[in-house]
Amino acid sequence: MTQTPSAEPSPARALHAQGVTKRFGAITALSSGRISVGKGEIHALLGANGCGKSTLCKIIAGTVSRDGGTLEIDGRPADLKSPREAEALGVALFYQELSLVPQLSVADNIFLGHEPRNAAGFVDRRRLIADTEVLIARFSAVAGSGFAAGTNVSRLSPDQRQIVEILKVLARNPSIIIFDEATAALDKRQVDLFFSILRTLKAEGVAIIFISHRMDEVFEIADRITVMRNGETVAEYGAGEVDRDTVVHDMVGKLADHQREARPPRPAGETPRLVVSSVSGGRLRDVSFSVAPGEILGLGGLQGQGQSAILQGLFGAEPFARGEVSVDGRPVRLRRPADAIRAGLAYVSGDRGRDAALHGRSIFENIAAATLVSERRRFVWPSALKPRFEKAAAGLNTKYAGMEAPIGSLSGGNQQKIFIARWLATDASILLLDDPTKGIDLGAKGDFFELARDLAAKGTSIVFYASEDAELLGLCDRILVFNSGAVTAELSGDTRDAFHLTRAAYGETA
Amino acid sequence: MSALRDSLRGRVWLVTLAALVTLFLVNLALQPNLLTPNVLKSNLTVFLPLVLVAIGQTYVILGGDIDLSVGSIVALVNVVTVSVIAMTGGETGGILLGIAAGILTGLACGLFNGVLIAILRFQPIVTTFATGIIFGGLALRVLPTAGLPVPAGYWRTYAGNVLGIPTVLWIFVFALLAIAFIARRPFLTHLMATGGLRTAAFQTGLRVGPIRIGAYMLSGLFSAFAALCLTGETASGDPLMGRLLALSSISAVVLGGTALAGGRGSAFGSLLGALVIGMISNVIFFAAIPFEYQTLTTGLITLLALAGGVLVSRR
Ligand SMILES: Nc1ncnc2c1ncn2[C@@H]1O[C@H](COP(=O)(O)OP(=O)(O)O)[C@@H](O)[C@H]1O
Ligand SMILES: [Mg+2]
């Protein structure tokens, strides 16, 4: 018997998407997405952060509607209008940001929309629990404590939630499964078990798309690999016929070196403004670094590896369990945001809605919020503060009708500038930026980066996390790469480029 | 203590039950004949409308929305029912027709709210505030002034017994059965998912729009039931009936441990919450508190009962 090499996709196509395009307002998330997966094939989808992998997956799963291109499922054109329709065709998606309802139990989440019913149409609770326990049993050895069918999802740890999302996908008995960064929070033993499940599914003929952080995983499990870059599919090969450097080069492209902006070299022997030593807690494992006055430090790596946790810890929103922080040589205790504000730290998040905006309040009140805390003000004379705020906001080239206009009347980018103005008015010496440009348009992004550079030039220290690599490379003097809550590489000088950043993010030493 | 808290969390209605028992004992001390069947029955008659409206309101709130129009739905159902009965003559058939018209009116109001909010994506608070004004205006159009008595057959049945058991007790038991029925349908899980995290519910393939509309229709239905009870109690039509029911029902829902943010809570808790609100006014009445302090005291006791629930559910 002769074995044909695995270079060609298997003839039984489960899924074929071609020329898929998608825009969100001014942002082009996909310019030409293509992926083709055979039955019983594990297909890795790779690409730098923000290149459109999740968007392509959501289009296949019916959550996001495509603007153009074709999609075929089991050889038939599919025009999906909702996740429901995709599910009816056998497609199930593990959502990168999870699709679990925190208020519901593990069992309710896993079988949501597919509850076992008795003849009268009531939920058959006994079978619901029994079926859930059968599923949980597959992970029982590695799931940790407090993981039961009746537990509320809000009380589970991040890895346990990922396991629930995996089980929820499996419970649907799909014929096409997409795992969008399903192993992000899992440890080695959990990943091994997950892979053994993938191999079983593969043997059953299920088509699997697998997006992962880690090159090792990809080469361990994948049959074929598709690489995306800037919203476009740029390469496809069999996993056996390619090496890692080729894959990383395809992910990064030839543009890599042009993206790097010249930053003046840092003077040697500066005294650091912010020193973080051995902080741990939550997702973080023993993180240390320091930032000099006027320096822009980037936090890179794949999403959710602890970058936001560091920034929120520094801001006192999610205090560290262990470790020390000092500002200008003085140790500080950061147990709540007010501590951080008084120590001269400022925090701007991309989740404006959740973290920062005082909805329905005026621009004035939104700017004032931080000043009132940092100066321990109890009484406020608006007339005295207003000129100060107007000066801070004017420096940002922000368009607004007036200080009294509601915050909601501004575009996302201008809102973001108002939050920066909030901190400029407090004279913060350290600015923490937590993926600040999420969902704002390109022009506003440019202004925003201009502002950050100006502030750094005036001596403000900036710690910057971005989910898009190009932003990090464009702005930062130095980049720390995070993986699983620890710093795994530091890039500066010659190594501060897209190639090294991608390679380090995907788990290889830079 | 933390173990106790753990088991209480998610069962805030236990606290509401404790408050209810306390208020009941206080009431008993102030009013020794409380336990006689007649007094119990008249209490239940007074409490029943709020109990029913609060049950319906719970489903809307569980779905992450709110219904401020319930009071006006009650008024509209009331005037529609009495008008239909008057038009068809006071026979049993006419009464049943009036009841059916009232129930359909409640469902239609709920459907209207639901379509505006879940399909056209109007903001729930403002929308139901506005539709409340519309329903109230319609009620005035149907019956401009209070009056139009219902036939004796209607209110005698309501005030009397069926198979030896007071009608109001039957209705209360049916309300409990309805809660239990709905609690065992997949709909309730889907509704709580919708109120808990709407994007997740959508991504899971639930039909979020129809689910929210269903909740508003339940609210309209239970408001209609409440209106039919009030019609039995007052024996006539009144376009201004049920003015305070919207806010009282929301208080009852919150007292019963349902989160205003949606996704967490139970209709049974709201039923207890409504009884607590009823018992508070009883206690105030029998404690011979001077008139000018009654409202103030009601507010303070309600706040106290709420604080109990907040303390156990907070981490
Ligand atoms: N709902 C959305 N609204 C606006 N922009 C979006 C949205 N979803 C994704 N994007 C943008 O589309 C691009 C691709 O994102 P995504 O598909 O999540 O990338 P990946 O999964 O490869 O990291 C990014 O620039 C992202 O900011
Ligand atoms: Mg993604």
Q: What is the pLDDT of residues B285-297, one digit of tens each?
A: 888 888 788 788 8
pLDDT attached to residue A388: 66
Collect all residues with Cβ–Cβ distance below 8 Å to B25 and sequence separation of at least 6. none
Residue B140 pLDDT > 80, yes or no?
A: yes
Distance between CA atoms of A368 and A387, rounded to whole angstroms? 12
Four-CA torsion B15, B19, B25, B27, nearest 10 degrees:
-160
Tokens of A158: 């991040």
Distance between CA atoms of A450 and B128, rounded to whole angstroms? 46
Distance between CA atoms of A252 and A469, rounded to whole angstroms? 10
The number of folded domains in chain B is 1
Residue B308 CA to its chain's centroid (Å) = 22
pLDDT attached to residue A106: 94
pLDDT attached to residue A258: 41
Tokens of A370: 């931080």
Task: Tell me if A112 and B206 make a contact (CB, 8 A cut-off).
Answer: yes
Of A82, A104, A122, the CB nearest to B185: A122
Q: What is the pLDDT of residues B148-173, one digit of tens each?
A: 888 888 898 898 888 989 999 999 99
Question: Helix H segments across A30-171?
Answer: 53-60, 83-88, 106-110, 125-137, 158-171
Collect all residues with Cβ–Cβ distance below 8 Å to B62 and sequence separation of at least 6. B188, B191, B192, B195, B215, B258, B262, B263, B264, B265
pLDDT attached to residue A142: 81
Residue A150 carries which side chain, given as an amino acid letter? G
Burial of B123 by CB count in 10 Å (0-12 exposed, 13-18 middle, 19+ buried)? Answer: exposed
Mean pLDDT (whole number) for B299-315: 72
Residue pointed to by tokens 């119990």 = B40
Q: Is B193 on the interface with A (CB under 8 A)?
A: yes
Residue B1 pLDDT > 60, yes or no?
A: no
pLDDT attached to residue A259: 45
The answer for A 225-264 residues in CB contact with B (under 8 A) is none
pLDDT attached to residue A256: 45
* A20, A21, A22, A24: residue to mutate for ligand 1 pocket, most atoms within 8 A of CB: A24
Mean pLDDT (whole number) for A303-331: 88
Collect all residues with Cβ–Cβ distance below 8 Å to B43 and sequence separation of at least 6. B34, B278, B282
pLDDT attached to residue A359: 57
Q: How far is the CA of A54 from the centre of ligand 1 (A)?
A: 7
Task: Tell me if B204 and A113 make a contact (CB, 8 A cut-off).
Answer: yes
Chain A residues in contact with B193 by the CB 8 A cut-off are 101, 104, 108, 112
Residue A421 pLDDT > 80, yes or no?
A: no
Burial of B121 by CB count in 10 Å (0-12 exposed, 13-18 middle, 19+ buried)? Answer: exposed
Task: Tell me if A98 and B200 make a contact (CB, 8 A cut-off).
Answer: yes
Residue A418 pLDDT > 80, yes or no?
A: no
Topology of domain A13-252 in CATH is: Rossmann fold (3.40.50)
Q: What is the pLDDT of residues A441-479, one digit of tens each?
A: 666 677 778 888 888 888 889 999 987 777 888 888 899
Main-chain phi, psi angles of B259, to 5 degrees:
-75, 130
Collect all residues with Cβ–Cβ distance below 8 Å to A429 and sequence separation of at least 6. A273, A293, A327, A328, A344, A345, A459, A460, A461
pLDDT band at residue A392 under the 50/70/90 scheme: low
Q: What is the pLDDT of residues B101-134, one digit of tens each?
A: 999 999 999 999 999 999 999 999 999 999 999 9
| Average pLDDT over chain A, rounded to an integer | 82
pLDDT attached to residue A379: 59
pLDDT attached to residue A479: 92
Q: Contact at 8 Å (CB) between B54 and B274?
A: yes
Q: What is the pLDDT of residues B22-73, one digit of tens each?
A: 999 998 988 888 888 888 999 999 999 999 999 999 999 999 999 999 999 9
Residue B6 pLDDT > 70, yes or no?
A: no
Of A146-155, A202-211, A444-453, B255-264, the range with the lowest mean pLDDT is A444-453
Domain A13-252 identical in fold to domain A274-506 = yes
Residue A8 pLDDT > 50, yes or no?
A: no
Residue B82 CA to its chain's centroid (Å) = 21
Mean pLDDT (whole number) for A155-170: 90
Ion ligand 2 contact residues with beta carbon within 5 A: A 54, 96
Q: Is B189 on the interface with A (CB under 8 A)?
A: yes
Strand order in the sheet with A76-77: A76-77, A68-73, A13-24, A27-38, A232-238, A224-229, A42-46, A207-211, A176-180, A91-94
Residue pointed to by tokens 């107007």 = A390
Ligand 1 atom index nearest CA of A25: 4
Of A11-15, A314-318, A427-431, the range with the lowest mean pLDDT is A11-15
Mean pLDDT (whole number) for A116-134: 92
Q: What is the pLDDT of residues A35-90, one digit of tens each?
A: 999 999 999 999 887 789 999 999 999 999 999 999 999 989 998 999 999 999 99
Q: Is B33 on the interface with A (CB under 8 A)?
A: no
Distance between CA atoms of A18 and A34, rounded to whole angstroms? 4
Main-chain phi, psi angles of B48, to 5 degrees:
-55, -45
Task: For ligand 1, atom 10, name the residue with the nearest CA.
Answer: A29
Of A101, A121, A122, the CB nearest to B193: A101
Using only the alpha carbons of chain A, give its radius of gyration. Answer: 24
Residue B202 pLDDT > 70, yes or no?
A: yes
Collect all residues with Cβ–Cβ distance below 8 Å to A204 and sequence separation of at least 6. A40
Q: Which residue has the higher pLDDT, A196 or A12?
A: A196
Q: Contact at 8 Å (CB) between A474 and A259?
A: yes
Of A211-215, A282-286, A317-321, B222-226, the range with the lowest mean pLDDT is A211-215
Q: Contact at 8 Å (CB) between B276 and B104?
A: no
pLDDT attached to residue A481: 92
pLDDT attached to residue A159: 84
pLDDT attached to residue A123: 93
Is the pTM of the predicted complex or chain greater than 0.80? no
Q: Is the dihedral of CA B46, B48, B52, B58 positive or negative?
A: positive
Residue A381 pLDDT > 80, yes or no?
A: no
Mean pLDDT (whole number) for A103-126: 93
Distance between CA atoms of B140 and B135, rounded to whole angstroms? 9
Q: Is A87 on the interface with B (CB under 8 A)?
A: yes
DSSP A265: P
Task: Tell me if A102 and B207 make a contact (CB, 8 A cut-off).
Answer: no
pLDDT attached to residue B10: 59
Using only the alpha carbons of chain B, give its radius of gyration. Answer: 20
Collect all residues with Cβ–Cβ distance below 8 Å to A25 and sequence separation of at least 6. A441
Chain A residues in contact with B184 by the CB 8 A cut-off are 122-123
Q: What is the pLDDT of residues B206-233, one digit of tens each?
A: 999 999 999 999 999 999 999 999 999 9
Residue pointed to by tokens 């809550």 = A485
Ligand 1 atom index nearest CA of A49: 23
pLDDT attached to residue B176: 96
Residue B3 pLDDT > 60, yes or no?
A: no
Task: Tell me if A108 and B197 make a contact (CB, 8 A cut-off).
Answer: no
Domain A274-506 class? alpha beta
Q: Which residue has the higher pLDDT, A261 or B128?
A: B128
pLDDT attached to residue B200: 94
Collect all residues with Cβ–Cβ distance below 8 Å to A372 and sequence separation of at least 6. A380
Annotated domain spans of chain A: 13-252, 274-506
Q: Contact at 8 Å (CB) between B106 and B77?
A: yes
Residue A194 pLDDT > 50, yes or no?
A: yes
Residue B125 structural domain: 2-314
Main-chain phi, psi angles of A9, to 5 degrees:
-65, 145
CATH code: domain of residue B30 = 1.10.3470
Distance between CA atoms of B125 and B196, rounded to whole angstroms? 18
Collect all residues with Cβ–Cβ distance below 8 Å to B312 and sequence separation of at least 6. B5, B8, B9, B12, B15
Contact residues of ligand 1, CB 6 A cut-off: A 24, 27, 29, 47, 49-55, 439
Distance between CA atoms of A477 and B313, rounded to whole angstroms? 47
Residue pointed to by tokens 């890599």 = A256
* Greatest pairwise CA separation for chain B in angstroms: 63
State the angle between helix axes of B37-62 and B245-255 in degrees (0 to 180), rounded to the nearest 10: 80
Tokens of A144: 């940790």
Q: Is the dihedral of CA A24, A28, A31, A35 positive or negative?
A: negative
Tokens of B163: 């198979």
**B155 dihedral zone (left: phi>0; alpha: psi -120 to 50; beta):** alpha
